[in-house]
Amino acid sequence: MGTNYYLHAPACLHCGHAEEPLHLGKSSAGWCFGLHVHPKQDLMDWQDIWARITAVEELGGFIKDEYGGTIDSGLFFTIVWDRGRKEPHSLQWLKDNHAIPGPYGLARHKIDGRCVGHGEGPFDYIIGDFS
C-alpha cells in the first residue's frame, strides 16, 4: 500500500481553467520514493520537480495526497527525503519484489523501462502509470 501525491496549480484568474493535477509520485513503505518524472514537461529529476513545486506554490497552488489531504511543500520534502528502515530487506524479499538494495535499508526499483534512474537521495525516477 502506498500514497500518491499531486501538485494542483491554481485556476486561471481570467477564464477559470485549471490544469490537470501533476502526479508527483508515490510513497510506499519500505521503498525509495517513486518520483514521477515527466520528460514531455522537462521534469527529469528532483531539482526540476522541486522548482515546479515551489513555483506553483508561490502562485497559490498546493499538493494533495490521493485521499484529499493537503500538505505543504515542506512536508512533501520530508516525505521524499526522510525515509529509511531499521533493518534492510532480505535478499529473498528483494528478489521476490524485483528490487535491489537502496539507501537506508530501503528497496530500490531496478532500472528498466519504467524506472529510468536512481536519485541522489532515497528516491527513484519513474515514468509511466502509477497504481
SS3 49: helix
- Global pTM value: 0.93
On the 0-12 / 13-18 / 19+ scale of CB atoms within 10 A, 114 is middle
List the domain boundaries for the chain: 2-126
pLDDT tens, per residue, the chain with 131 residues: 799 999 999 988 888 888 899 999 999 999 999 999 999 999 999 999 999 999 999 999 999 999 999 999 999 999 999 999 999 999 999 999 999 999 999 999 999 989 999 999 999 999 988 76
